[in-house]
Structure 1
C-alpha cells in the first residue's frame, strides 16, 4: 500500500491461531489464481515453486471451513484452478481490511516516515 508514491506500505497479517494465517503473500496468490486460472502459473508469477504454491493453497483450504481454491488435474481437457465463492469472499474481505487499516493508520504511518533517518545510503 503506497503512501503518496513512495515505498511506504502497510502489510497486514491476520493470525487466527498456530496453524491458520492470512497475509499479503497468500492474498496475492489467491488473486493470481483467480486471474490466471492456474496454481502453477500463479506461483511462477510470484517466483514461487509449484510445490510452495500448492502447499500454501492446501494450508488455506485446510484452515477455512470451505476450500478457497477449487482445482482440477490436467489431461486432455486441461486442468486449472479457480477461487470458490468462499475464496472470493475471503480475498475481498482481506483486501477491504487492508484498505481500511491503511486509511485509519495513514496519519501515524506518515508521522513514522517523517521520523526516519536518511535512507539514501549517502549519510
Structure 2
C-alpha cells in the first residue's frame, strides 16, 4: 500500500461504519470526532483502487454511509491475516504474556505512559 497504511483502528472504523450505517455514529462508538472519522475514511478511499466507503449527505433527512464490496473485502482479508498471524505466533504471544508482571499497573487506554 504505497502512500498509506491500514491497521486495526481503521479496520475497526470500517466495521463500525458497516454496523451503524453512519460515519458519525461509527466515530462516536470509537470515541473520535466526526472530523477525525471522516478524514480516516477519506484517507482509506484514496489509498485503494476504489472507495471502501460511500456516503450520502446527511442533514435533516439523514444520510448514511456503507461499505462498498471492496470495503467488505478489505475488512475480511485484514481479519483473515490477523487470525493467521495470531495462530502462527501463539507460542510467542503466550511467552510475552507470561513475562508481564502480574502487579504491573494498568494505564488508561489512549493515555501515553
Q: Same fold (TM over 0.5)?
A: yes
Query: Does structure 1 residue 23 correspond to structure 2 residue 19?
Result: no
**For structure 1, which runs of at least 5 residues remain unmatched after alignment?**
1-15
Q: State the superposition RMSD in angstroms.
A: 1.4
Show CA shifts across 1:45-80 (max 9, x none): 000000000000000000000000011002464210
Q: How many correspondences in the alignment?
A: 105
Map 1:77-96 → 2, pairs under 5 A: 77-96=61-80
After the TM superposition, list the runs of 4 or more consecutive aligned residues in structure 1 that deviate by more than 3 angstroms.
117-121
| Worse overlay, 106-115 or 63-72 | 106-115
TM-score normalised per structure 2:
0.86
- Structure 2: gaps of 5 or more residues: 106-113
2:43 alignment counterpart: 59
Give how far 1:115 is off.
2.5
Distance 1:75 1:53 in 2: 17
